[in-house]
Amino acid sequence: MNTSLSLYATLFAWLLYAIMLNKVTCSFNIRCHQKDKQALFNFKQGIIDPSHALSSWFTQQDCCQWRGVTCDNITSRVTHLSLPCSTTLPTYTDKTNKSLCLTGSIYLSSMDFEFLSYLDLGNNDFLAFQFDSVTHNYQNQSVAVHPRRFVNSSALRYLDLSGNENLAMNSLQWLSRMSSLEHLNLGGIDLHKETNWLQVVTMPSSLSELYLMGCQLENLSPSLKYANFSALRYLALSENEFHSELPKWLFNISHGISRIEFRSCSLRGQLPKELLNLRDLEALVLEDNNFNGPIPDWLGELEHLQYLILGSNLFSGSMPTKLGNLSSLISLTVGGNQLAGVVSERNFAKMSKLKEMDIYLSPPLIFDFDPHWVPPFQLAQILLGFAGPNFPMWLYTQRSLESLAIVESSFEAQGKFWNFVSKVPEVQIEENLIDGNLSNVVLNSSYIDLSSNGLKGGLPRLSSNVAVVLLSDNLLSGDLTPLLCDHKMLSAESNLLYLDISLNHLSGGLTSCWRNKKSLVHVNLGGNNLTGPIPPSMGLLSNLTSLHLHENKLYGQIPFSLKNCHSLLIFNVRDNNLSGNIPHWISLSAKALQLSSNNFTGNIPPQICQMSSLIILDFAHNTISGHLPSCLHNVTALVFNNASRYKFSYSFPSFHNRYLIIDDGLELVTKGQVSEYGKNLHFVTLIDMSSNNLTGTIPSQMFSLTGLFSLNLSHNSLTGKIPNEIGYMKHLESLDFSVNNFWGEIPQDLSSLSFLSYLNLSFNNLTGQIPSGTQMQGFNVLSYIGNRDLCGPPLTKNCSQDVKPKDTEPTHEDEHKSEFVSWFFIGIESGFVTSFLGVCCTIFFNRKWRHAYFKFLYNMRDRLYVAIVIKTNVFRLR
């Protein structure tokens, strides 16, 4: 009996082994179905593949082994096609580079898959989408796509085309054929022409996840009572422009919807109590809208709620204590509203699972916590703004913080506080009033922003963990040695990427310790009292993309060693005492050069013309001589107006796949005034060579810079007529040719510059009638004054019809007279400014006052100059 059982057991084991071996063998011998292979080739036909991601897609290889393709182990039919583009935000510029992603066209009509259930083409750069059969062009060749209905689209359950920002769809009617679709993500695709989108997306009755974020949708159908979402659980419609209240159909979804996202949708009104109908709701994201009224206390009845994101709205009243009943809550955001009153431990009584908190408000809420209270939660991220009377001591109990932010608060920072901060990887404590001294502090966080806090003392020391440090706009003094040359820290390899200590009271030289900080990509030491030359050791910063040394007392020549900074894009040394010639070896990839208000001499080097990416060229207020380069038309960024493609921003990875963005910036003179450009810097295209000793005529090639926004050549000795070609500069908004020797008539084509909002042609030798048209007459008298032979509105001088305008080059005598008058009044204004500064210099120890005063003085100088010349001309005419 035992023998028989043993025999049966052995036979059973062999049989089981044979079955398993057969399955394994089958799995290793999967052969792609010929029909699916042809469908994949049809799909590939419309695609441009710059990174050769589809290089494995060739005839000889089994298509089940192709990249992105998955086949069923039994049937060998294609079930998954996953080709998302993997990109990361670069450190410099906050626009993702998709040059290596798939592009071209998506033609679903050519994809005759019977069993395809999963299609992911997200985060690519596709330019066209077509469901029905068409004939299209591919690489200049006409390719006929055979008529197919994509009949097996009913098998598709997952479709992700999100992140293809250049893709637009005029219609979504093709969704009606996808009866089994469960997950649909079209985020970032332009759908504004599909006005019936809501009714269309309800057609797949099995749809449970719908993501239409940033699709330029406008109609939310707020009056529609029911929408047939029979299976919907996730609804994400953020970053659209609905301009309505929450729609009624949202509260009538019959089953348990768990996530609603309407971030940045221009929604308004009060939160309706019908939200309580959604008893299974886990996430309510309504951030950055125009909701008003109180935050309802009945929200505390949504027992499953995990994410309550109500920040940046117009909510008023107090923060409801009943929110403390949300025992499942993970994230609470109410910052950026108009709440008032007191916050205490009662507002968080049962929030044991809370991980993220944002209760920053302006003016801040009053914190009234028991100093011995220990919260039931351990936070990972927190953003606070509070108005005393005391620092919230419970914050010291948080041992798992990944990100700490405190803004617009007032408190005292002693050793305990800095020890606590040093254990948090990401710290943003800015725009506070902090009584604290940084002299003996060691900063240890990888990202730390302590700007605009009124902090005193010398610079802190940095551990090797620090990657980003912002200490700008404080009251820090002393030299750079503690921060850059601390011997205890020099032995460890530095990870420092971003350093901003601008707008403080630092003194001394720039030190020679830069060799220990070779990882730096951004340095901003502007607005201090630093002196001495720029050290050659700064040339060791080979990764540097942005260098700001403006508004100091630096002198000497720019060291040749900076030639090694091949990645330098922004070089800003304005308002110093630097001298010598303008370097001809600056990085050819540079985008912004600001060398204004120094003592540079010599000619403008022709190598400037090789900087094809240059959008800002500011050499104003130097003693540069010679002619304007005739090759500036080679700076293609100023010709094609494509400067806005990439922003001047730094991005640093944060927690939970987020990024911290820091905008670079410059202070520029445009439209006759000083303006700070930060987030919008990439839109500015500027040439400013004013207040130099430039001579000769304007080369005609300069007027081919059709992408230029601002052109300032004032206060030079340029001559000749203003060419008619100036009318080609269609994007020009600011033009200043004042105080030169231009002669002849104002070209009529100047009136065709429809964007021109600032014009200054004063104090030249221009003649004749000001061109007619509202554009030219819309400027005031100051735009034309000092040209005694100009006439017509807006000037009061009428043009005589029987006297031809003088259109000849001014005589030698006229030039001497004009030059004498100009220098005479320049001498008067210079003496006035010097005397006035001598009397008032003692009040300028406060930096912000000093900056404001100089801007005021600059404007007053111009006004005085104009007023004096007007009076002189009146006497002259008498």
Average pLDDT for runs of 10 along the chain of length 878: 50 48 44 88 90 89 92 92 90 83 83 88 89 41 36 79 92 88 96 92 93 95 86 95 93 86 96 92 97 96 96 94 95 94 92 95 86 95 85 94 94 92 96 93 96 96 94 96 78 83 97 90 97 95 96 96 93 97 90 96 93 94 95 89 70 87 94 91 93 95 92 96 91 95 93 91 94 82 92 87 51 47 47 47 46 50 50 43
Contact, 565 vs 541, CB < 8 A? Answer: yes
For position 808, what pLDDT does the model report? Answer: 55
For position 655, what pLDDT does the model report? Answer: 84
Give me the helices (H) in 390-504, please: 415-421, 481-484, 487-490
pTM score of the predicted model:
0.83
Quote the distance between the C-alpha of residue 252 and its chain's center. 39
Contact, 593 vs 573, CB < 8 A? Answer: no
Give me the helices (H) in 766-811, please: 774-777
Instruction: Please calculate the CA angle 229-234-239 and round it to the nearest 5 degrees.
Output: 105
Q: Token pair 């090789």 is at which residue?
A: 610
- What are the φ and ψ backbone dihedral angles of 370, each rounded to 5 degrees? -60, 125
Helix/strand/coil percent split, the chain, to 5: 25, 25, 50
Q: How buried is residue 140: exposed, middle or buried, by Cβ count under 10 Å (0-12/13-18/19+)?
A: exposed
Closest by CA to 625, choosing from 698, 558, 557, 717, is 717
Tokens read off for 585: 């070896």
For position 642, what pLDDT does the model report? Answer: 60
For position 337, what pLDDT does the model report? Answer: 94
Quote the distance between the C-alpha of residue 199 and its chain's center. 35
- What are the φ and ψ backbone dihedral angles of 387, each rounded to 5 degrees? -120, 90
For position 151, what pLDDT does the model report? Answer: 40
